[in-house]
Structure 1
């Protein structure tokens, strides 16, 4: 008993020592963490940023789109990666299979027609009803719930076939074989199709989705910022410059509105653009289609299928769709990029003459050797990236419409680079938007320039002289003002020298040039038009979203029934749009914002009454 007690005391003493040691280490650990955290916070107070985890893949990326700029355009991978191309190929193959079933072309080994609707099962036994519904859902979800594992499996098959489209076909057949009763459908996958039938549809869908859901969203952000600046500086006077020399006054807002309106015309074309597509076999003649089913009108069926997935039918092609629509699209995109590129250069020049100031951040560096610099790097970045995007877009326009005889493969490698044209465009837009967020008007510099260049009023003065019939008004003002920098006092002397001055002495300009220019050369009707466009774009986005959501919930219905439902939605959509447009138009007319459906641009020369006597 004593031995047990002794051992227990020794054991307690041992654990007590160990506990004290652990406790002491724990206290030291807490103190160490507190010290590091305090030091870390001090470094932050001093302006040192905390350490950031560096992406090694970005450092090793061959293209800056996948490296330096990846964070700005990561969403484009959903539309233009190899994984995305596989997804859209699968989608086209499945849509085509379901279309054939719906047209009563697919038969089982007994020659019985396979029906699409669970309500009209045909040869199917009742016990297969549940499996049949599962198949329809799974076919849709192959691309709706597409993941990297599916893409990997397709690539594994491609390693054997050495053919990317055939690998997609084999993958879908694998999925059909998982339900024995439907294994008989597998030979209708890729039925009567050549690879380019699948590819051109897949690429057109990719481009459409990327345009609507990503590209136009980035463009809209720039447009909204330009509208904001147009309204904000609508009455801010500024000397204009033609040939690099001072000219008649304008306003900052009006100059922003110029670019906004120009860009909006191209955006409207992009928004309404539809890519052309074909599905007519190996050389565009429906050879295999007619041989297999001569009783069907394959031209009409092909058109019906292509238009059902939102594309424009091209009836005359070779093995490939000739890509003319792609050239048209990239011409429009290139022109839009050129407009924004010109805007970037203009703002760069305005910054160089101190008309705009840039908001600086405390810890940013402008130059590695000149501490005072705040460089317009965002506008320079925009210019460079939009130039790259245009060079690729221009190559698309020159290369893609040309193919030898009925087809050569030189377009295939080019078609894989749509993401680069989109990527550099979006990087340019984001840089432009970032730069626009940083600039602010330098009121002092603009007003100084206005007060130092009263000679620009020679134009309205000689115009008034013409109005009252004075001889040689242009020549008189030319002699007095050409090549000269004139201040306010000099303008008053010029007025006194004008013959028959008493006829116009009651018309004179405000003593402060900046007050005069504030109301010159600008009318805000542009901005109201832009807001109208933005309102209807938003309405279109919302209604399209509602229709897509409704479409997803109707996958159990017959495809014909779906088409009827969608037609009803479209008619409701158009009716709703027309009614809203008419109401809004009447409101605008009521407030004299839009008259006779034209933008009323008024160049106002304000001549204020002032009696020198």
Structure 2
């Protein structure tokens, strides 16, 4: 733990989030930028007919992917001297070419580009790599955990609540499977969203390229290069790439965070209702003064992470669509906080998985709640009465919820109706329907997770 860290991402929670450093640290951004610059140099040289020179710089990208930390520090030192982060990258790359004996290629570094050509591709690659290698697998594990619980409790009777009040019976597995399915669908959507990027020079027209080397089809070059970097080409760009696809990705993560936060709140309520128990390691204390406490700490922590992440991601998604005229720099500082919001999401998912694994579901208490709440049969009761032509079936069922079924039988007999019709209002069918839905959703979720291929 880094006690001097400014944010808890790099301090208190660093151990759980160490992997995020590969994508969102300053070191990671330097590395991604250098790789993009090196890949562009090789592609550019090939495009202008300098194939042998392009061949000479092959392997530079691999070297830059493995950039030692001390060389990244060197890039930062150059930045302090020149006052520009991307220029520092190009100057460092010049040094690398000199060390390889290719100083003659220095004039072609960053040829015709603007900083945002490098930045938008670098950020796109980092976001893609984080989603594919870190976030999606952890989300898949969360979905699997929820689905496993749903399968275990597919037939566990559970009294559903609407507006906080007893509604009708279902099963706990049906409730859980709903969340599993929603999160699985959102995860699949996220995995299939490919970041967009542009390569267009100062204002997006490739005008410098076309003027310097008019014989080259630069639009095709730009599209091919962006695709080779693993991103989707965006031709309608100014100096910046439109942020709509990035926004869609961030909003999808925000939706995942919001759904997961709601699940955390629901489990908190289950604890308050006495339907689940929260576990803890034997030596852990959940209160400084009350030894008996077993608090939903991990659920609460995850909820806070998800709520903060969702707000940050939603703000970024809407704000970054805006850019004055052909470019302003207000987006730069905001983009540097991609990692904070995404790391919070990852932390929330990890804590939620751990919380679910430590939670004991009190199935006997759930079943008892259903059995001791006869008014939960009011819905099916009024429907059965109406099925048999009782026009005021809704009103009778409402009164029976207070006066009891004996009163209803007498009322029906007094009207010359067969009181046995209310025996058709069996809530056991509600539990069976919950079981059937749980089984159906569990299978569908597993199909989605298999397709994720993680």
Judge conservation of contact 2:250–2:314 (CA < 8 Å) in 1: yes
Match of 1:534 among 443, 449, 453: 449
Match of 2:16 among 43, 47, 72: 72
Aligned length: 450
Judge conservation of contact 2:155–2:172 (CA < 8 Å) in 1: yes
1:520 is displaced (CA, Å) by 4.0
> For each residue in 1:351-391, what CA deviation from the matched residue of structure 2 results, as whole angstroms up to 9, or x when unmatched?
10101112233222122122221111111111111111122
Judge conservation of contact 2:17–2:347 (CA < 8 Å) in 1: yes
> What are the within-5 Å matches in structure 2 for residues 16-27 of structure 1?
none
- What secondary structure sits across from 2:52 in the alignment? coil
> What are the within-5 Å matches in structure 2 for residues 124-523 of structure 1?
132=56, 135-137=57-59, 139-180=60-101, 182-481=102-401, 484=402, 490-491=404-405, 494-495=408-409, 497-499=411-413, 501-502=417-418, 504-505=420-421, 507-508=423-424, 518-523=431-436
Q: Distance in 2 between matches of 1:319 and 1:371?
A: 60
**Correspondence for 2:33:** 89
- What secondary structure sits across from 1:239 in the alignment? strand
> For each residue in 1:297-335, what CA deviation from the matched residue of structure 2 results, as whole angstroms up to 9, or x when unmatched?
211211111111111111122211132222221111111
Q: Runs of 5+ in structure 1 lacking a partner?
A: 1-54, 108-112, 118-131, 542-613
TM-score relative to the length of structure 1: 0.70
CA 1:356–1:517: 2 relative to 1, 3 Å: farther
> For each residue in 1:243-297, what CA deviation from the matched residue of structure 2 results, as whole angstroms up to 9, or x when unmatched?
1111111111111111112222221221111111111001111121111011222
1:445 is displaced (CA, Å) by 2.1
1:394 is displaced (CA, Å) by 2.1
Q: Distance in 1 between matches of 2:362 and 2:407?
A: 31
> For each residue in 1:51-107, what CA deviation from the matched residue of structure 2 results, as whole angstroms up to 9, or x when unmatched?
xxxx4xx2221111111111110000000111100100011011111112332x154
Judge conservation of contact 1:249–1:520 (CA < 8 Å) in 2: no
Judge conservation of contact 1:197–1:320 (CA < 8 Å) in 2: yes
1:193 is displaced (CA, Å) by 0.7
Q: Distance in 2 between matches of 1:81 and 1:471?
A: 68
Tell me how large the CA RMSD over aligned residues is: 2.1
1:517 is displaced (CA, Å) by 5.6
Q: Distance in 1 between matches of 2:53 and 2:286?
A: 69
Q: Runs of 5+ in structure 2 lacking a partner?
A: none
Q: Distance in 2 between matches of 1:457 and 1:399?
A: 49
Larger Rg: 1
Judge conservation of contact 2:384–2:422 (CA < 8 Å) in 1: no
- What secondary structure sits across from 1:60 in the alignment? coil
Q: Distance in 2 between matches of 1:528 and 1:306?
A: 38
Q: Distance in 2 between matches of 1:360 and 1:207?
A: 35
Judge conservation of contact 1:454–1:491 (CA < 8 Å) in 2: no
**Correspondence for 2:52:** 114
CA 1:179–1:477: 2 relative to 1, 3 Å: closer
CA 1:115–1:174: 2 relative to 1, 3 Å: closer
Greater RCO, CA 8 A, separation 6+: 2
> What are the within-5 Å matches in structure 2 for residues 549-568 of structure 1?
none
Larger CA deviation: 420-429 vs 364-373: 364-373
CA 1:96–1:457: 2 relative to 1, 3 Å: same
1:186 is displaced (CA, Å) by 2.0
- What secondary structure sits across from 1:498 in the alignment? helix
> For each residue in 1:168-189, what CA deviation from the matched residue of structure 2 results, as whole angstroms up to 9, or x when unmatched?
1122221222243x33222111
Q: Distance in 2 between matches of 1:328 and 1:516?
A: 41
Q: Distance in 2 between matches of 1:501 and 1:346?
A: 43
CA 1:431–1:425: 2 relative to 1, 3 Å: same
- What secondary structure sits across from 1:318 in the alignment? coil
Q: Distance in 1 between matches of 2:386 and 2:79?
A: 80
Larger CA deviation: 357-366 vs 200-209: 357-366
Judge conservation of contact 1:236–1:251 (CA < 8 Å) in 2: yes
